[in-house]
Structure 1
Amino acid sequence: MNKILLLEDDEALALGIEFTLKDEGYDVTRCACVQDAIKAFNKEEFNIVLLDVMLPDGSGYDVCKHIREKSEVPIIFLTACDDEVNVVLGLDIGGDDYITKPFRVRELISRIKAIQRRFEKKSVRENIFKCGDIVLYTENAKVEKNGIEIVLSSQEYKLLLIFMTNPNKIMSREEILDKLIEGAGSYFDTNTLSVYIKRVREKIEHDSSSPEYIITKRGLGYIWNSEVQKG
Structure 2
Amino acid sequence: PPKCRRLNGKQNAKKLYIEKKAVKARVAKQSADVFLTSYGTFRCSVAALSVPNAFGGMLLDEAQQIKNHTTQISRAVKEVAEHVGPIRISLSGTPVENKLLDLHSQFEYILPGYLASSKADFQRSFGRPVTNSVRRSVRGQAAAARAAAEGTATTGQDHAGLASQESLRRLVKPFLMRRLKTDPEIAADLPEKIEQDQECELTDTQKRIYKAIQEKCLEDTLKVDSFQRRG
Q: Which one has more relative contact order, counting CA pairs under 8 Å at least 6 apart?
A: 1
Task: Verify same fold: TM over 0.5.
Answer: no
TM-score bin, normalised by smaller chain: under 0.3
TM-score normalised over the length of structure 2:
0.25
TM-score by length of 1: 0.25
Which of the two has greater strand per residue? Answer: 1
